Amino acid sequence: MTQVTTIPTTGGPRGVAHFLAPVIAGFFNGHPPVRLRAWDGSEAGPRDAPVVILRHRDALRHVVARPGELGLARAYVTGALDVEGDLTDALRRVGAGVRRHGTSSLAPREWVRAARVLLAVGAVGTPPPVPRGESRPRGPLHSRERDAAAVSHHYDAGNGIYSLLLDETMAYSCAYWPEDDPVATLADAQRAKLDLVCRELGLREGSRLLDVGCGWGSLALHAARAYGARVTAVTLSAAQRDHVAARIREEGLTDRVEVELRHYRDIDRAGFDAVATIEMGEHVGRDEYAPFARRLRSLLRPGGRLLVQQMSRGSDHPGGGPFIERYIAPDMHMRPLGETVTLLEDAGLEVTGVRSLRRHYVRTARSWAAELDRRYDDLVGLAGEETARVWRLYLAGGALAFEEGRMGVHQIAARRPAPEEIP
């Protein structure tokens, strides 16, 4: 990394942070939402604001190269930028400050002044390398090959990572805390969610269940073990397929559960009593969801039940974002709940109930984040510092998005009407 010494001071009233503070204030109507601590030891900004640490001028170069969320994410993931204290709380306070005071565009004269400051502190130069964990899928959007690559980016990162962060059920989706057991552990809450899904689907001995996007097999194994269902589980992740296959053998469920590496479009059986898709619909795509909903209907027998557990976004919020798109879920698309319900109904399904789990996802994400903090060094040793920082930012931001209602998650129960029920 090239060191630029345009400003020779080491802190004090003319340090890097003092040069940058007025520029930042200009973008936020004179109310900067953070306090800066720069690599030369200087600090400037509101004393009661979250402290953002610029460990190297590469933090600024990332933001100059890609202004906005992606540049900031790259700076954080690489460690050039850090946040003092609790990351979720810092993001919460910054967001509240921005909502309170708003943002502004700089006047031409202010842009000239900002450019001079950035040049003086060494923020202008060759952009730093993009973090290795960024995904840039290729090929036609939502082709089988691109979908497989997008899923592999996050879910094939290594079963060891998920074993470290998740509870013993290996459920990587929103848990459910029953009102009569509000202090249940995360594992208990995940089992309660699995029971809730199985009850909504009406599973009993011999029921044929299709689990679309089965993850690490928590639902498939639970449905077979606790309800006697015969389960076909499908995933696009080879790591997940291998994990589920091993669990099937270990638990002696080879006569009840089969797992396949298969795209939902290529499922070659139908007539299932029940179909579940748990937090997989977000990966289907904007234009592909209507055919997806019709495909789910076609897989059910007349009278069969469907359970869709899916994230949603508020009507005024985009959902996802550049960080999620590049580091977590390439090609993800979320829509408001009402749009999903309409698409399911347009596919010929009867929606019989909707349950909001948004508050439960706040608690779920916080539980994962707490486990990440507890085992952070283990994760660094297993996957590297950049990956650990990606997960920390992902869980902190995700918990906050659900907390503030910018994102939600719902269980949508539906059924395929029998022919005699259709006018």
Four-residue CA torsion sign, 121, 127, 129, 135: positive
Neighbours of 63 (CB within 10 A): 22
Instruction: Read off the pTM.
Output: 0.90
Q: Where are the alpha helices (DSSP H) in 201-278?
A: 218-227, 238-250
Neighbours of 143 (CB within 10 A): 13
**What pLDDT is recorded for position 318?**
67
Q: Would you mind telling me the total number of residues written for the chain in this entry?
A: 423
Smallest Cα–Cα separation from 410: which of 154, 170, 176? 176
* Degrees to nearest 5, angle at CA 74 with 326 and 45: 135
Q: State the chain's mean pLDDT as an integer.
A: 91
Q: Each residue of 13-65: pLDDT tens digit?
A: 679 999 999 999 988 999 999 999 999 999 999 999 999 999 999 999 999 99
Confidence band (pLDDT; 50, 70, 90) for 103? confident
Task: Copy the structure tokens of residue 226.
Answer: 């606790």
Q: Each residue of 349-390: pLDDT tens digit?
A: 999 999 999 999 999 999 999 999 999 999 999 999 999 999
Confidence band (pLDDT; 50, 70, 90) for 240? very high
**What pLDDT is recorded for position 149?**
82
**What pLDDT is recorded for position 344?**
98
11, pLDDT greater than 70: no
Mean pLDDT of the region 3-15: 50
Mean pLDDT of the region 202-215: 97
DSSP structural state of residue 325: I
Mean pLDDT of the region 312-333: 82
8 compared with 39, residue with greater pLDDT: 39
Q: Would you call 377 helix, strand, or coil by DSSP?
A: helix
Four-residue CA torsion sign, 59, 62, 67, 68: negative
